[in-house]
Amino acid sequence: MPVTTFDVKEKYRYLNGFDNHHQSEAVPGALPIGHNSPQKPPHGLYAEKLSGTAFTAPRHENKQTWFYRILPSCCHPAFNPVNLPNTDDISTDPSTLHFIPNQLRWDPFAHDDATDFVSGLRLLAGAGDPTLKQGLGMYIYSAGRSMSPTSAFYSADGDLLIVPQEGVLDIRTEFGHLLVRPMEIALIPRGVKYQVRLPTGPARGYALELYQGHFQLPELGPIGSNGLANARDFQVPVASFDEDHGSVADDGANQYAITAKFNNAFFRTAQAHTPFNVVAWHGNYYPFKYDLVRFNTIGSISFDHPDPSIFTVLSAPSDKVGTSIADFVIFPPRWLVGEDTFRPPWYHRNTMSEFMGLIGGEYDAKKGGDGGFVPGGASLHNVMSGHGPDAESYEGARERRLGPEKVGMGSCAFMFESCLMMGVTEWGLRKCDRVQEEYVEHSWGSVRVHWKKPEGAKATGHLLEEEEGKE
């Protein structure tokens, strides 16, 4: 079994800063000074490079890390295809997806005690192709048990943004440990091996796999040099390692099962040594977590409801300036003070697609009674699909006496917004059995006509028809 060399008190220490060059060594002197790949790295370690961008990517985009580890990652037998339970429907191949303009909403997704984090990931919707490094996949996860301590997972398909909604995730990565609670998010970059344990029991949440590029902090423009998610609040693990350089089970099998996701299919190998054998690392390609409570929310202090881009935590750009493959946007508790303003989101149709989830509480545009938009559930308003407050929220906000008001207390909704048209998986549309058939009727079926025709006014379209009729 693995021999753990970290001190438990030290387990969840972090380095702070987004997109910094960080370095960490679990044993003094393990990081070579000046060199990346000396002839004999310190303490008999192997140097191994992990790149997150092309070697020749511009300097400001270039991402890579140097590991100093007990054995390099290539020491394993061949991978073989493996069928994980529940993962039959994980492809973003357009021929397997439903592209439909209907507004969709899901009841909270079921807990699944039989699955761990990896087999509990279910693809709901997506667009693009991991082989072309284009697009994204949107998931919910529900896990009832920890991954085995002798297992690890990585995805060659993309970076995974994890949004826990229930239950704590203890994510052990090659870089060290991240303890991630609801109201925190985590990001595991493409290729990084990890293992998820559930220290407080079952866990449920949302995830976005980005096949293309990496998340960055949004530009702040006229906001200035601070605000929204501040770079210093992103937390990065410190190095920690196990010592097991080659153990085989009684039956002679290699102990450590490594599962890879590669073009949305799963492969597995078994190796004798632990993959968590990194004694030191340095670089700017690493996993991190962020506490959403630290988000500095900015909004209108005069009138009108601003675009939700003002709430962007992280943004994954496309090649077109200002247009994201994925924005991660949150709606945390905040003050609303707008005068003569309809304060909830306006009715709209968006060229972007909007997937929303609820971490806790209630969303101010969807108050319409029980069983609507509830924690652990989700909604999808695809490209150009009309949506907005439900009738009850509209009437309430229209009549409300306006004064300073704190909304969203104890609540946090979020949105994955994408410039791509989302296809919904067969699991998401039917097999999950969570789609609310009554969503549209329930939300907007009773939206009232408030139109009061001013005296003497006539509907001009009708007038034209009348004129035509006379001829």
Ligand X SMILES: O=C(O)Cc1cc(O)ccc1O
- Do residues 50 and 261 lie in contact, with contact meaning Cβ atoms separated by under 8 Å? no
Structure tokens at 49: 């490079």
Residue nearest to Fe ion (CB): 354
Amino acid found at 18: F
308 contact, one of ligand X, Fe ion, none, CB 5-8 Å limit per kind: ligand X
In angstroms, how far is the first alpha carbon of the chain from the final one? 93
Catalytic hit among 305, 381, 450, 462: 305
Question: Which of the 8 DSSP states describes residue 431?
Answer: I
Instruction: Compute the least distance from the CB of residue 348 to ligand X, in Å.
Output: 6
Question: Cβ closer to Fe ion: 199 or 386?
Answer: 386
CB 129 within 8 A of CB 92: yes
Which residue number, 108 or 167, has a Cβ lying nearer to ligand X? 108
Q: Least Å distance between CB 382 and ligand X?
A: 12
> 27 Cβ partners below 8 Å, 6+ apart?
43, 279, 280
Give the tokens for residue 376: 């652990």
Answer yes or no whether residue 214 interacts with ligand X by CB under 6 A: no
313 binds ligand X per the rule CB under 6 A: no
Nearer to ligand X, 64 or 341 (CB): 341
Chain position whose Cβ is nearest to ligand X: 345
- Structure-block tokens of residue 356: 């929303």
Query: Is 363 annotated as a binding-site member?
Result: yes
Beta pairing partners, 417: 327, 354
How far apart CA 181 and CA 289 sit, in angstroms, is: 10
Residue closer to Fe ion, measured from CB, 129 or 354: 354
* CB of 149 closer than 8 Å to CB of 195: yes
Chain residues 383-422 in contact with ligand X, contact rule CB under 6 A: 387, 415
Task: Give the H/E segment covering residue 391.
Answer: helix 391-399
Residues 6+ apart with CB under 8 A from 202: 111, 113, 142, 143, 144, 166, 167
Tell me whether residue 134 or residue 300 sits nearer to ligand X (CB atom). Answer: 300
Q: How would you classify the pairing of strands 234-237 and 14-16?
A: antiparallel
Q: Which residue is associated with the tokens 């806790």? A: 360
Question: Which residues, 328 to 347, sit near ligand X by CB under 6 A?
Answer: 345
105 binds ligand X (CB under 6 A): no
Binds 415: which of ligand X, Fe ion, none (CB < 5-8 Å by kind): ligand X
Q: Which one, of 257, 261, 271, 244, lies nearest residue 76 by Cα? A: 271
Positive or negative: CA dihedral 261, 263, 266, 268 = negative
The distance from CA 258 to its chain's CA centroid, rounded to whole angstroms, is 23
Instruction: Choose which of 107, 184, 242, 354 interacts with Fe ion (CB under 5 A).
Output: 354
Site for ligand X (CB under 6 A): how many residues? 9
Nearer to ligand X, 138 or 236 (CB): 138
Is 242 one of the binding residues for Fe ion (CB under 5 A)?
Answer: no
Residue 356 CB, nearest approach to ligand X (Å): 6
Specify the stretch interacting with ligand X by CB under 6 A; choose among 204-212, 267-275, 334-342, 348-356: 348-356
Residue 364 binds to ligand X (criterion: CB under 6 A): no
Of the pair 63, 305, the CB lying nearest ligand X is at: 305
166 binds Fe ion (CB under 5 A): no
Nearer to ligand X, 272 or 330 (CB): 330
Q: Least distance (Å) from ligand X to the CB of residue 103?
A: 10
List the single partner that 365 binds among Fe ion, ligand X, none, CB under 5 to 8 Å by kind. Answer: ligand X
Which span sits near Fe ion by CB under 5 A: 52-60, 151-159, 353-361, 391-399? 353-361
Binding to Fe ion by residue 362, rule CB under 5 A?
no
Residue 209 makes contact with Fe ion by CB under 5 A? no
> Which residue in 354, 362, 378, 380 binds ligand X (CB under 6 A)?
354
Which amino acid does the sequence have at 44? G
305 is catalytic: yes
- Structural tokens at position 88: 């039959």
CB of 388 to Fe ion, least distance (A): 7
* Paired sense of beta strands 121-129 and 234-237, if any: unpaired
Q: Whole-angstrom Cα distance, residue 267 to residue 83?
A: 8
Least distance (Å) between residue 373 CB and Fe ion: 12
Q: Judged by CB under 6 A, does residue 308 bind ligand X?
A: yes
Alpha-carbon separation of residue 263 from 90, 96, 236 (angstroms): 10, 14, 28
387 a known binding residue?
Answer: yes
Nearest Cα residue to 287 out of 215, 354, 219, 192: 192
Residue with tokens 């009729």: 469
Task: Supply the minimum distance, in Å, between the C-beta of residue 380 and ligand X.
Answer: 11
Burial of 123 (C-beta count, 10 Å sphere; 0-12/13-18/19+): buried
Residues at the binding site are 348, 354, 363, 387
- Give the interface with Fe ion as residue ranges (CB under 5 A): 354
Using CB under 6 A as the criterion, which residues of the chain lie in contact with ligand X when the complex forms? Answer: 305, 308, 345, 348, 350, 354, 365, 387, 415
Binding residues for Fe cation: 348, 354, 387
Q: Which active-site residues does the annotation give? A: 305
Summarize the annotated binding site for homogentisate as residue ranges.
363, 387
